[in-house]
Chain A
Amino acid sequence: MQWIKIPLVLAAILILVIVFRNRQRVELRAGSRLLVVAMAAIAVVSIIDPDIPQAFANLLGVARGTDLLLYLLIVVFVLTTLGLYFRLRDTDQHLRRLVRSIAIDEAIRQDGPPGAPSGAAPGETDPRTS
């Protein structure tokens, strides 16, 4: 049994749950910033003394320090991808609302509000609209 499997599987599940449920929360954004700082710190430490990641890897049951970094990288990559995916979804949604609003305003500016008697409509004027 490699103990690394437990934190990795837990991390994967936790990331999915947290990101899906709280994607609008300010804590999540704060968390991702802290994660960036932590990653930078880990990078600095690893560069200065490569034995430290190796020691952590041994502690967790991973053969090499590089493997540990690879696993971490995968976790970070998944997080980043999901984050960007959500951001793109929201941006798309904003764009659609914006385009819709512009399109409707433009149509009303050109031919008046819907329901008003327009020149092309058959029949007499509609008393409902003023």
Chain B
Amino acid sequence: MEPGPPRRNEDVWVIVPCYNEAPVVRGVIETVRRHFPNVVAVDDGSRDNSAAEIQASGARLVQHPVNMGAGAAYQTGVDFALRDPGAEFFVTFDADGQHRVEDVIAMVNHLRGVDTEVLIGSRFLGSVEGMSTSRRTLLKAAVVFERMTSGITLTDAHQGLRVFRRSFARILDLQSHDMSWASEFLTRMAEHKTTYEEFPVHVEYTDYSRSKGQRSINSVNIGMDVLINKLLRGR
């Protein structure tokens, strides 16, 4: 469904962390900015010319002088967007082009009509292209893991496309440095009894995004990080 004239969406901030994504980041951000004027791209210490590409795309650029990981980059984007008093909706969006801006439009429109604080995109409610069976199985296992550690039940626990309100952005405070941010996000939701819904999204794995993506073995690291963070949190 294509919306007619694009809505202004000035109360929405799209946060795009970027680490060595120079070949695609500009195109991704330009597509997003057709519908959402406020985009903050966090260059997480890239060694290629991602920063120049981001600036050419018209997004706000926040640059980490050193690489700090995806979780830290998302948190920087959230902190930056929170400085805008008009920011009401926050979107986490991947720089490698696997997410579709149509899904963001639908999610934001949905959130405007309900009281829910967080919308989590789900590949398994929607559709996914180019995902291997082994990856699918692993992600199903991750869902069970999240249910056990955070008590939050989802069909897709490690999907990066999420939309949330200012109230949740203020308490997010991601501390994990790498890809376990997705789990920490859920932990924070559980701690604060945040209201949430899942929303079907379409994810397209291109050769590019696959080459940049997570290796499955990293799920071991993520799992350990989640358990350690859980053990240490709040003490």
Interface set of A (CB-CB < 8 Å, partner B): 20-24, 89, 92-93, 95-96, 99-100, 102-104, 106-108, 111, 113-115, 118, 120-123, 126, 128-129
**B 52-74 binary contact with A (CB < 8 Å = 1; else 0):** 00000010111111101000100
Known: A20-B232, A126-B10. A114 touches B38 (CB 8 A): yes
Known: A104-B80, A121-B58. A115 touches B86 (CB 8 A): yes
- CB-CB < 8 A to A99: which residues of B? 64-66, 68, 72
- Nearest B residue to A123 via CB reads B37
| Minimum distance in angstroms from B229 CB to a CB of chain A | 10
Asked if A115 and B83 sit within 8 Å, CB to CB, the answer is yes
Asked if B64 and A114 sit within 8 Å, CB to CB, the answer is no
Q: How far is the CA of A116 from the CA of B75 in the complex (A)?
A: 21
- CB-CB < 8 A to A111: which residues of B? 60-61
Asked if B63 and A107 sit within 8 Å, CB to CB, the answer is yes
- CB-CB < 8 A to B37: which residues of A? 121-123
| Minimum distance in angstroms from B197 CB to a CB of chain A | 27
- Nearest A residue to B76 via CB reads A100
| Minimum distance in angstroms from B42 CB to a CB of chain A | 8
- CB-CB < 8 A to B33: which residues of A? 122
Interface set of B (CB-CB < 8 Å, partner A): 8, 10, 13, 33, 37-38, 40, 42, 58, 60-66, 68, 72, 75-76, 79-81, 83-87, 175, 177, 231-232, 235
| Minimum distance in angstroms from A27 CB to a CB of chain B | 14
Q: How far is the CA of A106 from the CA of B13 in the complex (A)?
A: 19
Asked if B72 and A100 sit within 8 Å, CB to CB, the answer is yes
Asked if B65 and A20 sit within 8 Å, CB to CB, the answer is no
Q: How far is the CA of A24 from the CA of B232 in the complex (A)?
A: 11
| Minimum distance in angstroms from B219 CB to a CB of chain A | 21
Known: A93-B175, A115-B84, A115-B86. A103 touches B64 (CB 8 A): yes
- Nearest B residue to A128 via CB reads B86
Known: A115-B83, A123-B8. A104 touches B62 (CB 8 A): yes
Asked if B83 and A113 sit within 8 Å, CB to CB, the answer is yes
Q: How far is the CA of A111 from the CA of B42 in the complex (A)?
A: 14
- Nearest A residue to B86 via CB reads A128
Asked if A103 and B85 sit within 8 Å, CB to CB, the answer is no
Q: Which 7 A-B pairs have the closest CB atoms?
A: A115-B84, A120-B58, A114-B84, A107-B62, A128-B86, A100-B76, A103-B62
Q: How far is the CA of A126 from the CA of B63 in the complex (A)?
A: 25
Q: How far is the CA of A103 from the CA of B85 in the complex (A)?
A: 19
Scoring A20, A100, A126 by chain B CB atoms within 10 A of each residue's CB, the highest score goes to A100
- CB-CB < 8 A to A114: which residues of B? 13, 38, 40, 60, 80-81, 83-84, 87
| Minimum distance in angstroms from B40 CB to a CB of chain A | 7
| Minimum distance in angstroms from B180 CB to a CB of chain A | 13
| Minimum distance in angstroms from B171 CB to a CB of chain A | 16
Known: A20-B235, A24-B235. A104 touches B83 (CB 8 A): yes
